[in-house]
C-alpha cells in the first residue's frame, strides 16, 4: 500500500516525467509505467492510468501545435487512413512469449 510520503514523492516526480517526455514529442506512457512500477501500483491500474496520462499530455501538446498553425490536415489524413487499420491488424496478432525470450535476452526473467 502506498504511504502518504510515497504519494507525495510520486506526485512530485510525475510532472517532471511528463515534462521531460513531452519536451521530445512523446506522451510519456513508458515513463509513467516505470514510475508506477517503482511505487508498487497495482498492475490492473497501471495500464489505464498510463493511457489516460499519455492522452492528456499528448492532447496538450497537440493543442499548442495546432494553435501555432503547424497542423497539416492532408498529411494527418494520409497517416491516419493507413496507420489506424494496420495498428488494429497488428494488435490482433498473438505472439508466443517464447519468441521474446529467444530474441531478446532481457525478457528471460519473465515467468512464462
- The answer to whether the beta carbons of residues 17 and 31 sit under 8 Å apart is yes
80-102 residue pLDDT tens: 999 999 989 988 988 776 765 66
- What is the DSSP secondary-structure string of 96-111? -HHHHHHH-GGGGGS-
Distance CA 8, CA 17 (A): 15
Q: Mean pLDDT score of the chain, rounded to an integer?
A: 85
pLDDT-above-70 percentage for the chain = 84
pLDDT confidence of residue 73? 94
Q: Kind and range of the H or E element at 67?
A: helix 43-67
Is the pLDDT at 61 greater than 90? The verdict is no
Distance CA 77, CA 46 (A): 31
pLDDT confidence of residue 70? 93
Break the chain down into helix, strand, coil percent, rounded to 5. 75, 0, 25
Which pLDDT band, with edges at 50, 70 and 90, does 14 fall under?
very high
Which comes out higher in pLDDT, residue 49 or 1?
49
Q: If you ran DSSP here, which 8-state letter would residue 63 be given? A: H
Amino acid at each position: 500500500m502506498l504511504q502518504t510520503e510515497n504519494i507525495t514523492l510520486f506526485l512530485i516526480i510525475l510532472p517532471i516525467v511528463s515534462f521531460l517526455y513531452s519536451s521530445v514529442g512523446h506522451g510519456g506512457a513508458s515513463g509513467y509505467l516505470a514510475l508506477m512500477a517503482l511505487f508498487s501500483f497495482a498492475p490492473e491500474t497501471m495500464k489505464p492510468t498510463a493511457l489516460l496520462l499519455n492522452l492528456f499530455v499528448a492532447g496538450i501538446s497537440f493543442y499548442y501545435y495546432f494553435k501555432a498553425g503547424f497542423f497539416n490536415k492532408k498529411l494527418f489524413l494520409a497517416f491516419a487512413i493507413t496507420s489506424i487499420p494496420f495498428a488494429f491488424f497488428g494488435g490482433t496478432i498473438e505472439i508466443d512469449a517464447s519468441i521474446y525470450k529467444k530474441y531478446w535476452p532481457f525478457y528471460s526473467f519473465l515467468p512464462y
